[in-house]
Amino acid sequence: MTTERLNNEASGGGSKCWSASNRRWPVGKIVEGVARPDTLTPADRYQELFVDVQMSRVFEDSKTFVDCVPLKDPEEILDVYRQRCFERNFDLPAFVDEHFAVQQLPPDCFNAEPERTLEEHIESLWPVLTRRPQENPPLCSILPLPCDFLVPGGRFTELYYWDSYFILLGLLGSEYARRNDLLQSVADNFAYLIDVYGHIPNGNRTYYLSRSQPPLFSMIVELLEGSEVCEAMDYLPHLRLEYAWWMDGAGELRPGDAHRRAVRMPDGAILNRYWDDRDSPREESYAEDVLTARRSHRPVHEVYRDLRAGAESGWDFSSRWLDDPEDISTIRTTGILPVDLNCFLLNLETTIARLSERKGDGVLAEDFRQRAAQRRAAIDQWFWSESEGAFFDYDWQKQTQRENLTAATVTPLFVGCASDIQAGRVAEIITARMLAPGGISTTEFSNTGEQWDRPNGWAPLHWMAVQGFSDYGHNELAHTVAHRWLLIVSEIFEAESKMVEKYILRPTTEHATGGEYPLQDGFGWTNGVVARLLREHPEDPATACRAGRRL
C-alpha cells in the first residue's frame, strides 16, 4: 500500500473525526474562542529584527524572544524597526521591551509548600502546569488547541509531544486530571494537530511545525484505553495519518536511498531516521546553531538540518549523534538510524493492525501485520549486536553499527519486540556498563557538555527501562533502577523542595548541567514518571519524602 493511498484512506476524503464525541474540524479551521496565532514563524515574520535580537543576545535564552507576545500588529512592529534601527542612538533592548511582552512564570511557583510529601507536591503541580487555549495571547507563536493541556515547566510553556506520554503516566492517578477532563484531552489535542497539520509537531508553536518528536501517540491511546478513558478505535484514522507522515516517500525508494524520514536498506527493508523539513538555524536556539555551524567544515545547511533532527529525537543533544563526542559541530543525526524510533514505529504498526482487525478490515490489518513483521526483522538485522549483547543505532551512510552504547538499547524491551535471550543480554550489559548509583546512564560518554550524556539521567529513559525489564521478568533489575531513580529525585526534593528536568545520577544536591540552557524546574515528565513509580512501589523510602526534610 502506498503512502498516498494511506493518506487518502485515512483522511476519508473530507473533514476528519478526532474524538469519540464525533466533533469535527475541517483542516485549517481555528478553534472557536481561541486567539489566532501569527501565520508565520518568528524568524519569517520579523526577519532582520529577529536576527538582530537573537545574535545580539537581547535575551540570555534564545527561546525567550520566539515565545514573546507582540504588543502591536507584527507587521507594524517590523515597519517601525526598519524606520528606527539606523538611528544613531537606537536601543535594541528598549525597542524590544516596548513592543513585546515576555511570557514567563516566576520560578518559585514550582516550589513545594513546607511538609508536603513528594506525592502531594506532584499533585499540586498539575494545576500550575495546566494551560487553557482560551487564554492564548493573539498573534504570537503558540498554536491553538481544542482542549486544556499540560506543559513541562520552566522555559517550556507549550505542549510537547513525547513529554505528554510520560506526563500522562502520573495524570492517570490524579484526581485533578479526572475532575478537569485532562486525560482524554491529551489524545484529543494530538488528534486535532494531526487533522490540521498532518502530524504531531514537536510542540504547539509555529517554529516547531517542521518536525515532530518520538512517535508515542499509539502508546498514548493504548494507555488511555487500558484505563477506560477512551476508545483507541476512535483514533485509528489519526494513527494512520501519522504513520503516512513518517513514511512519506518510502514506497519509491531504491536500496541505499532516503527521503525525509524514510531510508531503504540494502536488503530492501524500510527503516526510519529523524529529520526536519527546514535546514536553517532552530529559531528557539538561533544564535547557538549559527555558532555551531561556523565551527564545522560541512555546509551550514547540513549542520542546521542535523541539529533540527537531533531536536526531533528528543535527545537534544547527545554524543549519540556526534562523530566527535566532544564537538557538537560534528553532529550527523540524519545519517543515523535510531533503534528507539524504529521500535516506536513498530508499535504504531502493530497498533494499527490490531485496531483494523477489531474494525473488521482484515486486508488492512494483514498489511500492517506484514509491515510490523518486516520492521521487527530489520531491527534484529541492523540494530542487534550479537557480540556485544545489545541494540545499537545504525549509521546508514557509513554502513556500520554505531559503537556508542546508549540507554535506547532498552527500547526493544519496552515495546516487546526483543527475544527473551536478547532481553537477558541487555539486562547484563546495562548492569555491567550503564547502571549508576542514581539509575540508568544515558550514554557511556562523560563530560561532553551535552545534557543527554553522563552524568545526567532522565525520567523517560528510566520508565522505559523499568517497564522493559519488568515485562521480561528481570524484576530485581527493574526494582533496582526504580529505587535508585526515586532516591536521586527525592535527594533534590528534600534539599530544594522542587522537581527538576534532569538529575545527576549519584547522591548529590548538585544540579545537572550541560546543553543550551540552565536546569529547569517543574517538571512534567519527571512528575509523571515519579508519581507512577511511587504508586507501583509504595514501599520505597521516597514515598515518605517531605519538602525540606532529609530521610
CB 491 within 8 A of CB 485: no
Q: What are phi and psi of 513, to 5 degrees?
A: -130, -165
Residues 97, 101, 102, 106: what is their CA dihedral angle, to the nearest 10 degrees? 110
Identify whether 91 is a catalytic site residue. Answer: no
Identify whether 316 is a catalytic site residue. Answer: yes
Look up cell 533496582; give the residue.
Answer: 480
Could you tell me which of 348, 119, 60, 378 has the C-alpha nearest to residue 215? Answer: 348
Q: Which three cell numbers stand for residue 100?
A: 513585546
Burial 120-152, CB ≥16 within 10 A → b, else e: ebbbebbeebbbebeebeebbbbbbbbbbbbbb
Amino acid symbol at 487: L
The three-point CA angle 249-401-323 to 5° equals: 90
Judged by DSSP in three states, 384 sits in strand
Q: Which three cell numbers stand for residue 331?
A: 553532529
Q: Which three cell numbers stand for residue 547?
A: 519538602
Q: How many CB atoms lie within 10 A of CB 56?
A: 12
Give Cα 384 distance to the centre of its chain.
Answer: 24
CA distance linking residue 475 with residue 67, whole number of Å: 44
Half-sphere exposure for 504 (CA within 13 Å, toward CB): 14
H or E element at residue 264 = strand 262-264
CA distance linking residue 89 with residue 201, whole number of Å: 41
Q: Which three cell numbers stand for residue 492?
A: 533534590
Torsion sign across C-alpha atoms 97, 98, 99, 104: positive
Could you tell me which of 501, 502, 521 has the C-alpha nearest to residue 109? Answer: 521
Residue from 38, 123, 163, 316 carrying the catalytic annotation: 316
**528 to 45, 128, 214, 381, 438: CA distances (angstroms):** 36, 14, 17, 34, 18
CA distance linking residue 317 with residue 303, whole number of Å: 13
Q: Which three cell numbers stand for residue 424?
A: 537477558
Q: Is 176 exposed, middle or buried (0-12, 13-18, 19+ CB in 10 A)?
A: middle
Q: How many CB atoms lie within 10 A of CB 221?
A: 26
Torsion sign across C-alpha atoms 343, 347, 348, 349: positive
Largest CA distance in the chain: 72
Please give the order of strands across the beta sheet that includes 258-259: 258-259, 262-264, 270-272
Residue from 67, 119, 349, 501 carrying the catalytic annotation: 501
Q: Report the catalytic residues.
A: 316, 501
